Amino acid sequence: MTANQNLLAANAVLAAHLVVINFNLFGLFAVPLGGWLGWRFVRVAWWRWLHLASMAVVAVQAVAGRACFLTILQDDLAGAGPGRPPLIVRVVNRLVYWPVPLWVFAIIYVALLAYVVALFWLVPVTSGKAARP
Among candidate residues 118, 96, 97, 94, the one with its CA nearest the CA of residue 28: 118
d(CA 106, CA 63): 5
Q: What is the pLDDT of residue 58?
A: 93
Q: Which pLDDT belongs to residue 84?
A: 67
CA distances from residue 76 to 71, 88, 90, 104 in whole angstroms, order as listed: 9, 19, 16, 23
Low-confidence ranges of the chain (pLDDT < 70): 80-89, 128-133
Q: How many CB atoms lie within 10 A of CB 63?
A: 16
User: Could you report the per-residue pLDDT of 4-20, keeping only the tens digit for each?
Assistant: 888 889 889 989 999 99
pLDDT at 98: 77
For residue 45, the model assigns a pLDDT of 96
What integer pLDDT is reported at residue 78 of this predicted model? 81
Dmax over CA atoms of the chain, in Å, equals 54
Q: Which residues of 87-106 are buried (b: 16+ CB within 10 A; e: fewer)?
A: eebeebeeeeeeeeeeeebb
> What's the rounded Cα separation, in Å, for the pair 85 and 105?
25
